[in-house]
């Protein structure tokens, strides 16, 4: 098919790498896709998901019209009803009786409007996001150690390091372009790669050392490293002047028993040698760390080692949290979590609240954190939340204890769902369904894992009656009586407002300052090139904390004493620990990647990776069906016998759900136990029973 126009520069909507894409509209209404050679994140590369983006556009499966109680309705009628029911609920039961549950796949402008509406005008912090399931423990760990949620490093640190440690990160499948960059740099420069993961993932293909530690032993491993750093005299005497808490952190680390990780002595020593002998070391971590009921402690155990050695914020060294979703970072910038305010300001700080309220000219500002995702759905279950608006996400499949969440949403008085897809586990539960524009139809910005803000540009017209999420939210805000505050004409105006607010945050000591863009014109927004924040007068892009200046009140970083905790114990009834995660070619609940046939060629159905010894004990044959159960739910999965997983530690992917595999919903098995600080669920340690599936 011949291109109809020139390529349009945009950004991939899947993982947090944030690759630049050249999308060329075709005469048949489709899109030709290439990697953008000029985008700093990917330099022309794309993974298979990004390369297949053109196969996921079109009208298949799309929600094309608003619906009320399952019947098509006009936009005015649907928006009037949403505004009326939210207004009535607030009037009768107060602002905390309504809630928004949003997504790390929203654009920054969408996210900004949702937060402004809920926190500044409705006057509640009842807004949380599916990013809670992804990186909340990193946010909490950063704030404890640095005084702010700031990722210190950049992607090119991976390439400049001598040693890269990947902890709880299957980079090869979950952040493939970063993996490609690392693999190429390893070949060129001989970088040592260490993978710390109970499972032998595809990432181990480039590992010089794979540490298949016991599940949950990460904090113990980094405590042992901290004690060894001290033992070898490697505490950086200059840098540690900028850090509080070393004695306490060391004393906790020294109490960690040497054999508490499940690793052999030889492997442990090799790890300690490689880490301590490499001046330039980057420790990359992801869901294996974050998705734990002690995730924040694990994050801080890693940060402790970098702070003690001063290996932070300089080329080729530092801790690095890679985010799962395309705009998890942008959500953090607009205060997308229930315990944050816009522009990295704190909801519990009265000066910060007042500054945001004044800037917004907001009538009633939320003055306390709202419930985090798991607690939010509990409040839906108990009836405290009576009107719920779910935007761009599928919690009835993806939340822990998904069956319970499904029942809670079913029991809610009024449920609005905005989505581009007509039929998901969650759209089926909506009283009002609102059609949203999809990736290729949206216009705005996203921020990737290294703090780089990039444009996502409209390349195709909206499908059917679909509208942009920011516009839908603004139109409801206007109908609720706040006409001027929600009167933007285009996303450039929202970005400009967000940028202006960031200048106030800058004056309050926050480094998130992009106020250079506060006067941005439509033309400048259209032409915007990817850029890193901060962008203040004194500081443009780059790394954080190499200078020893942190964002705590004292200006010093904090090391934390960490006492490692193990995940929930197994029982004779539920003797297996189920690990969950992504596969290479699918994304979340497959509402988009399921549309591209080539993405199902790699892995076509839900499966259970299980060790040969377990399979034999259970009488499970290769490719048979296994029934996996626990008190929360049940899944039926194809058996894949492999020694990539350890005995007792099966693995199942998270993607299959709804129509694709109603019994493959592993979210139903994940317990809603959360990290006490971050509220992030422990998605990788459900205790389960397994038996051969017998169809009745
Ligand atoms: Fe998209 Fe991530 Fe693949 Fe890049 S690595 S093309 S952002 S899915």
| Residues 83-131: tens digit of each pLDDT | 999 999 999 999 999 999 999 999 999 999 999 999 999 999 999 999 8
Atom of ligand 1 nearest to the CA of 175: 5
Sort 494 into a burial class: Cβ within 10 Å, 0-12 / 13-18 / 19+. buried
Do 227 and 253 touch, CB atoms closer than 8 A? yes
Residue nearest to atom 3 of ligand 1 (CA): 47
Helix (H) or strand (E) holding 553: none
Question: In ligand 1, which atom is closest to the CA atom of 448?
Answer: 7
- Between the CA of 87 and the centroid of ligand 1 the distance, in Å, is 40
Query: How far does the centroid of ligand 1 lie from the alpha carbon of residue 527, in Å?
Result: 22
Contacts of 164 (CB under 8 A, 6+ apart): 158, 182, 186, 191, 192, 193, 194, 281, 282, 284
Residue nearest to atom 4 of ligand 1 (CA): 19
Nearest CA to ligand 1 atom 2: 15
Domain over 576-692 is classified CATH 2.40.40.20: yes
Closest atom, ligand 1, to C-alpha of 50? 6
Distant-in-sequence, close-in-space partners of 654: CB < 8 Å, separation ≥ 6: 398, 580, 581, 582, 588, 589, 666, 667, 683
Pocket test for ligand 1, best of 176, 322, 323, 446 (most atoms within 8 A of CB): 176
Q: What is the pLDDT of residues 407-421, one digit of tens each?
A: 999 999 999 999 999
> What is the DSSP-derived secondary structure letter of residue 116?
I
Counting from 1 in the atom list of ligand 1, the atom nearest the Cα of 11 is 7
How far, in Å, is the centroid of ligand 1 from the Cα of 173? 10
Residue 596 pLDDT more than 90? no
> CB of 13 within 8 A of CB of 455?
no
Report if pTM > 0.90.
yes
pLDDT tens digit string along 290-302?
999 999 999 999 9
102 Cα: distance to centroid of ligand 1 (angstroms): 21
pLDDT at residue 537, rounded to an integer: 66
| pLDDT value of position 231 | 97
Which of 11, 14, 48, 585 maximizes ligand 1 atoms within 8 Å of its Cβ, making it the mutation to test the pocket? 14
**Alpha carbon of 418 to ligand 1 centroid (Å):** 24
Residue 593 CA, ligand 1 centroid: distance in Å: 12
Question: Rounded distance, CA 12 to CA 9, Å?
Answer: 10
CA-178 nearest atom, ligand 1? 5
Q: Which CATH number fits domain 8-56: 2.20.25.90, 1.10.760.10, 3.10.180.10, 3.20.20.70?
A: 2.20.25.90
Residue entry with tokens 């759209």: 427
The DSSP result for 283-320, as a single string, is: EEE-HHHHSSTTHHHHHHHHHHHHHHHT-SSBTTBEEE
Cα 164 to Cα 305: distance, rounded to the nearest angstrom: 14
Q: Which helix (H) or strand (E) holds 598?
A: none
Query: Which range among 138-142, 231-235, 504-508 shows the weakest confidence by mean pLDDT?
Result: 504-508
Q: Measured over all CA atoms, what is the biggest interatomic distance in the chain, rounded to whole angstroms?
A: 70
Residue 624 has pLDDT above 90, yes or no: yes
- Ligand 1 center to residue 592 CA distance, Å? 14
Do the two domains 8-56 and 67-134+326-532 of this chain adopt the same fold?
no
Radius of gyration of the chain (CA): 24
User: What atom in ligand 1 is closest to the CA of residue 47?
Assistant: 3
Residues 6 or more apart whose Cβ sits within 8 Å of residue 606: 635, 637, 638, 652, 653, 655, 656, 661, 664, 666
Is residue 29 very low, low, confident or very high in pLDDT (cuts 50, 70, 90)? confident
Lookup result for tokens 């780059």? 542
- The pLDDT assigned to 332 comes to 84
- For residue 326, report the distance from its CA to the centre of ligand 1, in Å: 9
**Which is the closest atom of ligand 1 to the Cα of 46?**
6
Ligand 1 atom closest to Cα of residue 17: 7
Number of Cβ within a 10 Å radius of residue 183: 17
Q: DSSP character for 216?
A: T
Task: Using the mean position of ligand 1's atoms as its centre, give its distance from the Cα of residue 43 in Å.
Answer: 12
In sequence order, what are the residues at sequence separation of 6 or more whose Cβ sits closer than 8 angstroms to the Cβ of residue 536? 506, 511, 513, 515, 516
Q: Percent of the chain having pLDDT more than 90?
A: 83
Distance 324 CA to ligand 1 centre (A): 10
CATH number of 67-134+326-532: 3.40.50.740
Ligand 1 neighbours, Cβ below 6 Å, are 12, 14-15, 17-19, 42, 46-47, 49-50, 175-177
What percent of the chain shows pLDDT beyond 70? Answer: 98
Instruction: Determine the residue of 18, 36, 177 to mutate for testing ligand 1's pocket, defined as the one with the most ligand atoms within 8 A of the Cβ atom.
Output: 177
What is 136-322's CATH topology? Dimethylsulfoxide Reductase; domain 2 (3.40.228)
Q: Which two tokens stand for residue 21?
A: 């894409």
Confirm if 56 and 73 have CB atoms less than 8 A apart: no
Say how many Å lie between the CA of residue 89 and the centre of ligand 1.
41
507 versus 554: the higher-pLDDT residue is 554
What's the 278 CA to ligand 1 centre distance in angstroms? 29
Residue to probe by mutation, ligand 1, list 11, 12, 105, 324, most atoms within 8 Å of CB: 12
What is the four-CA torsion angle of 652, 655, 658, 660, rounded to 10 degrees? -90
Q: Which of 23, 47, 54 to mutate to test the pocket of ligand 1 (most atoms within 8 A of CB)?
A: 47
302-355 tens-digit pLDDT: 999 999 999 999 999 999 999 878 888 888 888 888 988 988 899 999 999 999
Q: What is the pLDDT of residue 42?
A: 98
Pull the structure tokens for residue 332: 């953090």
pLDDT of 363: 94
Is residue 636 within 8 A of residue 625, CB to CB? The reply is yes
15 CA closest ligand 1 atom index: 2
- Map out the domains of the chain as residue ranges: 8-56, 67-134+326-532, 136-322, 576-692
Each residue's pLDDT tens digit, 550-595: 999 999 999 999 999 988 889 999 999 999 988 888 888 888 888 8
pLDDT tens figures, 627-645: 999 999 999 999 999 999 9
Alpha carbon of 287 to ligand 1 centroid (Å): 17
**Exposed e or buried b for every residue in 675-685, given b needs 16+ CB within 10 A?**
bebbbbbbbbb
**47 C-alpha to center of ligand 1: Å?**
6
């Amino acid at each position: 098919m011949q291109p109809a126009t020139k390529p349009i520069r945009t950004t991939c909507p899947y993982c947090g790498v944030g690759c630049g894409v050249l999308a060329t509209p075709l005469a048949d209404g489709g899109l030709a896709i290439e990697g953008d050679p000029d985008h700093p994140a990917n330099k022309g590369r794309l993974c298979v998901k990004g390369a297949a983006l053109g196969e996921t556009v079109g009208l298949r499966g799309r929600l094309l019209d608003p619906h009320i109680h399952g019947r098509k309705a006009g936009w005015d009628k649907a928006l009037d009803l949403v505004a009326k029911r939210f207004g009535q609920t607030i009037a009768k039961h107060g602002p905390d009786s309504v809630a928004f549950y949003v997504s790390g796949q929203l654009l920054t402008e969408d996210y900004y409007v949702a937060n402004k509406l809920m926190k500044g005008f409705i006057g509640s912090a009842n807004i949380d996001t599916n990013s809670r399931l992804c990186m909340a423990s990193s946010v909490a760990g950063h704030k404890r150690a640095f005084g702010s949620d700031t990722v210190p490093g950049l992607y090119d640190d991976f390439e400049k390091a001598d040693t890269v440690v990947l902890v709880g990160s299957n980079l090869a499948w979950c952040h493939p372009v970063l993996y490609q960059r690392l693999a190429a740099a390893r070949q060129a420069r001989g970088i040592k790669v260490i993978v710390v993961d109970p499972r032998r993932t595809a990432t181990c293909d480039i590992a010089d050392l794979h540490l298949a530690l016991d599940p949950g032993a990460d904090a113990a491993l980094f405590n042992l490293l901290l004690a060894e750093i001290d033992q070898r005299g490697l505490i950086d005497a200059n840098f540690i002047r900028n850090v509080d808490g070393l004695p306490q952190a060391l004393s906790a680390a020294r109490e960690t028993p040497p054999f508490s990780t499940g690793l052999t002595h030889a492997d442990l020593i090799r790890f300690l040698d490689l880490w301590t002998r490499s001046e330039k070391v980057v420790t990359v971590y992801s869901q294996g760390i974050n998705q734990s009921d002690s995730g924040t402690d694990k994050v801080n155990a890693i940060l402790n080692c970098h702070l003690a050695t001063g290996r932070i914020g300089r080329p080729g060294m530092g801790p690095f949290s890679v985010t799962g979703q395309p705009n998890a970072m942008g959500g953090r910038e607009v205060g997308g979590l229930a315990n944050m305010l816009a522009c990295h300001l704190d909801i519990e700080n009265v000066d910060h609240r007042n500054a945001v309220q004044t800037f917004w000219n907001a009538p009633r500002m939320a003055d306390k954190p709202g419930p985090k995702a798991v607690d939010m759905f509990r409040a839906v279950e108990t009836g405290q939340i009576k009107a719920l608006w779910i935007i761009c996400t599928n919690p009835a499949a993806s939340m822990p204890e998904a069956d319970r969440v499904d029942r809670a949403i079913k029991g809610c008085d009024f449920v609005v769902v905005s989505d581009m897809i007509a039929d998901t586990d969650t759209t089926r539960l909506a009283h009002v369904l609102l059609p949203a524009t999809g990736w290729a139809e949206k216009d705005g910005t996203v921020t990737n894992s290294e703090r780089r803000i990039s444009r996502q540009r409209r390349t195709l017209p909206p499908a059917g009656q679909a509208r942009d999420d920011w516009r839908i939210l603004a139109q409801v805000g206007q109908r609720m009586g706040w006409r001027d505050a929600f009167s933007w004409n285009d996303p450039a105006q929202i970005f400009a407002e967000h940028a202006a607010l960031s200048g106030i945050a800058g004056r309050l000591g926050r480094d998130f300052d992009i106020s250079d863009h506060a006067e941005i014109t439509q033309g400048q927004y259209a032409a915007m090139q990817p850029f890193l924040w901060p962008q203040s007068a004194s500081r443009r892009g780059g790394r954080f904390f190499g200078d020893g200046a942190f964002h705590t009140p004292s200006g010093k970083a904090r090391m934390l004493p960490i006492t490692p905790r193990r995940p929930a114990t197994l029982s004779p009834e539920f003797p297996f620990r189920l690990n969950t995660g992504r596969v290479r070619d699918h994304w979340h609940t497959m509402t988009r990647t399921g549309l591209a046939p080539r993405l199902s060629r790699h892995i076509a159905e839900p499966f259970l990776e299980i060790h040969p010894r377990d399979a034999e004990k259970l009488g499970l044959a290769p490719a048979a069906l296994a029934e996996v159960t626990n008190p929360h739910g049940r899944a039926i999965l194809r058996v894949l016998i492999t020694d990539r997983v350890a005995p007792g530690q099966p693995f199942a992917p998270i993607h299959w759900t709804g129509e694709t595999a109603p019994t493959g919903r592993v979210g139903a098995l994940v317990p809603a136990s959360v990290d006490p600080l971050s509220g992030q669920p422990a998605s990788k340690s459900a205790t389960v029973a397994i038996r051969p599936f017998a169809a009745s």
